[in-house]
């Protein structure tokens, strides 16, 4: 196998449980679409907060390597 040939393996919830690694899935961040005071739709989380969260998770992953 090389970087030119990648094989993705997907497991069912039952297979994961049998392997002894059941982990609850959780979102990295939560964004709701709301209606602002002006009546226009807006997001509950700012774009800069989402980017900061993603960068913090990425940085933590790099530091752990």
pLDDT digits (tens, 9 = 90+) for 22-47: 677 777 778 899 998 999 999 988 88
pLDDT band at 64, cuts 50/70/90? confident
Residue with the two structure tokens 């297979």: 15
Q: Are 1 and 9 in contact (CB under 8 A)?
A: no
Q: Can you give the length of the chain in residues? A: 65
Residue 48, domain extent: 25-64
Q: Is 53 within the bounds of a domain?
A: yes
Q: Is 43 within the bounds of a domain?
A: yes
Q: Is 57 within the bounds of a domain?
A: yes
Q: Is 20 within the bounds of a domain?
A: no
Count of structural domains within the chain:
1
Q: Is 42 within the bounds of a domain?
A: yes
SS3 31: coil
Res 1: pLDDT: 57
Res 20: pLDDT: 81
Query: In this predicted model, which residue has the larger pLDDT, 1 or 65?
Result: 65
């Amino acid at each position: 196998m090389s970087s030119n040939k990648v094989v993705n393996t997907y497991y069912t919830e039952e297979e994961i449980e049998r392997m002894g690694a059941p982990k609850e899935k959780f979102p990295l961040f939560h964004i709701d679409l709301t209606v602002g005071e002006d009546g226009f739709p807006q997001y509950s989380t700012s774009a800069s907060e989402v980017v900061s969260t993603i960068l913090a998770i990425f940085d933590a992953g790099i530091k752990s390597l």
